Amino acid sequence: MKVSLVAMVMIVVLPFNILAQKKADVALTPPMGWNSWNYFACDVSEALIKEMADAMAANGMAEVGYEYIVIDDCWQVSRDENGKIVEDPVRFPSGIKALADYVHSKGLKFGIYSDAGKRTCQERPGSLGYEEIDAKTYEEWGVDYLKYDWCHNGIFRTSKETYPTMAKALYELDRPILFSMCNWGRQKSWEWAGDYAHIWRTTHDIKPTFSGVSVFFLSVLRILDKQDGLEKHGGVNGWNDPDMLQVGNGDLTMDENQAHFALWSMLAAPLMAGNDLRNMPPDVLSILTNKEAIAINQDALGKQGYRLINGKDFNVYVKELSNDEWAVCLLNRGKAEQTIDFNFRDQLKLEQDFTVHNIWSNEDIGTSDATFKFDMPSHSVVFVRLRR
């Protein structure tokens, strides 16, 4: 009797263990790269993707850790008689494999997009019912990263029961593929997706604006506010994903671009640039390639930062780092400039003294027991590392 009870428990628990064991260690720190959606939407092509790979390899991004070039929706048009997915022959005349080879030849990794439903969000063929065939195709093509969306799933399936099918198909391959689950936070993705996904979206799509007015329009600040409390669910090899970067896009000012990048670094979010890498102003590039901000995002301890002070117009985020150091980000959310008196020792209840290092100006500005006076323009951050 006892034995069969153990067996029954094993039958119920085992499939999850097998999946968990097979999740490749490809996201020990949050993934960094570029994705086509935020700027180009459906207007993707082989030429464009190659130019992005060229840009990333040459402009300093690859040097500071960006590695994935990901084509989002609209590369696929149909399935052939064997069910194999077919790329758009006009936009991708050399085929996806040749494109992946090209991206690899630049020392970068290659990512692709599909959907857990019958069709993608842009009405292209989805992977439902074709998970194994698609996974094998990705392996054959040399895909390193799969973003997997949640459109056209009907009302009878939940993402919790649907996503493992593709995860399992991927883990049966010899090739490790990073699995990016894009179900917009449905069923509290953060509570269960870590069993098989490397990153999971926590919200609907980010828009290229810092502070929206409508509840249905997810600005940077609205997305930020939805991350409260999720910090305990993200960590090494399984990260909350507050969506891709809008740095350099839409109506974001330079202060807002900096704030967005600083906050996503604090959240240990995937750093997936979403702008046109070929034509970016130098100050946007310098934000995206700031080594110290990236070091905070990529810190090996893998702790997601959280909101310590939650005022209407003033917030403070803290992130624990390796070697007992801390990152701290002060945010002026308001429309007006604010002058803030801030003492790191008192506000963070620090038991030892630190050197306060300003990330953007790359200089030590004092010690943690001093009271600083920060003049903060609207939508700007003070972003520091407390060094021992």
SS3 call for 186: coil
Nearer to ligand GLA by C-beta: 53 or 182? 182
Instruction: Candidates 5-13, 115-123, 218-226, 339-347: pick the segment binding ligand GLA (CB under 6 A).
Output: 115-123
What's the closest the beta carbon of residue 121 comes to ligand GLA, in angstroms? 3
What's the closest the beta carbon of residue 252 comes to ligand GLA, in angstroms? 18
Is residue 149 a contact residue for ligand GLA (CB under 6 A)?
A: yes
Nearest 5°: CA angle at 33, between 31 and 36?
Answer: 130
Out of 34, 37, 68, 145, which residue is the one contacting ligand GLA (CB under 6 A)?
A: 37
What's the closest the beta carbon of residue 203 comes to ligand GLA, in angstroms? 9
d(CA 370, CA 172): 55
219 contacts: CB under 8 Å, gap ≥ 6: 206, 207, 209, 210, 211, 212
What's the closest the beta carbon of residue 108 comes to ligand GLA, in angstroms? 20
Q: Tell me how far CA of residue 353 lies from CA of 174, 342, 366, 368, 369, in angstroms.
A: 49, 15, 11, 6, 7
Residue 106 C-beta-side C-alpha neighbours within 13 Å: 27
Out of 46, 67, 72, 134, which residue is the one contacting ligand GLA (CB under 6 A)?
A: 72
User: CA nearest 201: which of 229, 227, 181?
Assistant: 181
Instruction: Candidates 117-125, 207-215, 316-324, 335-343: pick the segment binding ligand GLA (CB under 6 A).
Output: 117-125
For ligand GLA, which residue has the nearest CB? Answer: 121
Out of 20, 59, 122, 132, which residue is the one contacting ligand GLA (CB under 6 A)?
A: 122
Which residues inside 168-187 make contact with ligand GLA, applying CB under 6 A? 182
Instruction: Candidates 22-30, 119-127, 161-169, 225-233: pick the segment binding ligand GLA (CB under 6 A).
Output: 119-127
What's the closest the beta carbon of residue 114 comes to ligand GLA, in angstroms? 10
The tokens 């080879």 sit on which residue?
A: 101
Is residue 121 a contact residue for ligand GLA (CB under 6 A)?
A: yes
**Ramachandran category for residue 378: left, alpha or beta (phi over 0 → left; psi -120 to 50 → alpha):** beta
Beta pairing class for 338-343 and 371-376: antiparallel
Nearer to ligand GLA by C-beta: 37 or 66? 37
- Looking at residue 362, what DSSP letter applies? T
What's the closest the beta carbon of residue 61 comes to ligand GLA, in angstroms? 21
Size of the site for ligand GLA (CB under 6 A): 9
Is residue 116 a contact residue for ligand GLA (CB under 6 A)?
A: no
Amino acid at 270: P
Active site residues: 149, 205
Is residue 73 a contact residue for ligand GLA (CB under 6 A)?
A: yes
Contact 106, 57 (CB under 8 A): yes
Instruction: Candidates 120-128, 232-240, 275-283, 310-318: pick the segment binding ligand GLA (CB under 6 A).
Output: 120-128
Buried b (16+ CB within 10 A) or exposed e, 322-342: eeebbbbbbbbbeeeebeeeb
How would you list the strands of the sheet with 326-332, edge to edge? 306-310, 314-320, 326-332, 381-387, 355-358, 363-367
Out of 51, 54, 205, 292, which residue is the one contacting ligand GLA (CB under 6 A)?
A: 205
Residues lying near ligand GLA in the complex (CB under 6 A) are found at 37, 72-73, 120-122, 149, 182, 205
